[in-house]
């Protein structure tokens, strides 16, 4: 198993992520909700289950300021989508996955 901590730059913003690799053809992208981290039960046990099934995992560590979270919902959704897509595109462009999985809180 290989664990890499990396980041994608989007303008002045940096979106970090953890890529846990088991040489799988499947990858699970995990998106934590506000105030819920990857070491809490839902994601911890989901991560362990995916690893037991030999599925690669990407934990996306996006963070937003209070001002960003106060933006109109459509603006906020566009911003989060742009950030998540940047990480997903980087991963999918550099690895041959044929089955992406999405997991959210």
What are the helix (H) ranges across the chain? 41-52, 66-69, 73-94
Indicate the pTM of the whole model. 0.88
User: Average pLDDT of 22-34?
Assistant: 89
Q: What integer pLDDT is reported at residue 3 of this predicted model? A: 96
User: pLDDT of 67-85, one tens digit each?
Assistant: 999 999 999 999 999 999 9
Cβ density class 7-38: b for 16+ within 10 Å, e for less: ebeeeebebebbbbebebebbbbbbbeeeeeb
Q: What total number of domains does the chain contain?
A: 1
What pLDDT, on the 0 to 100 scale, is given for residue 102?
81
Domain assignment of residue 69, given as a range: 2-104
**Exposure of 36 in the CB half-sphere (CA atoms within 13 A):** 11
Specify the CATH number for the domain of residue 41: 3.40.50.1820
């Amino acid at each position: 198993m290989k664990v890499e901590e990396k980041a994608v730059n989007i303008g002045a913003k940096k979106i970090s992520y953890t890529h846990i690799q088991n040489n799988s053809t499947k990858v699970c992208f995990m998106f934590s909700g506000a105030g819920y981290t990857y070491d809490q039960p839902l994601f911890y046990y989901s991560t362990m289950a995916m690893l037991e099934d030999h599925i690669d995992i990407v934990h996306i560590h996006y963070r937003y300021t209070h001002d960003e979270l106060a933006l109109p919902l459509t603006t906020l959704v566009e911003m989060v989508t742009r950030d998540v897509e940047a990480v997903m595109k980087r991963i999918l462009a550099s690895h041959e996955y044929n089955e992406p999985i999405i997991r959210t809180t």
